[in-house]
Amino acid sequence: MAINYLMVFLGGSLGAVCRYAISIQMKRIISTEFPLATFLINLSGSFLLGLLLASHTDGLIQLLLGTGFLGGFTTFSTFQVENLTLFRKGNYGMLLIYVTVSVGLCIVFAYLGFRLGN
């Protein structure tokens, strides 16, 4: 039991650090209204989680890489706070694009991950 939590703990720690590093670097390179960093993080994380789940690897590896790393790497709360910020700025067009593209493509990419892993 404790080993399960340890796997999630280690993976989650690394996932959060990678997300933080990528979003800082992206903001430094590209200045855009569109929350590109969160979008790319969620998109790649969805694909990789689909791939991992389909690959039927060991339970502990799934906890380390899936629940821990990819769960911690991708984020729903930042996505929604970004949506709210776009809404409050009156940037409704961008809001609609961001929600649609994030939800739509992440589901498609998760599916592609599953297909590729099988």
- Tell me the C-alpha to C-alpha distance, in Å, between residue 37 and each of 73, 98, 110, 111: 12, 12, 18, 21
Q: Which is nearer to other proteins, 57 or 67 (CB)?
A: 67
Q: How far is the CB of 32 from other proteins (least distance, A)?
A: 19
Site string for other proteins, 26-65 (x = CB under 8 A): ----------------x--xx-xxx--x---------x--
> What's the rounded Cα separation, in Å, for the pair 9 and 90?
39
Binding of other proteins at residue 91 (CB under 8 A)? no
> What's the rounded Cα separation, in Å, for the pair 60 and 65?
9
Total site size for other proteins, rule CB under 8 A: 50
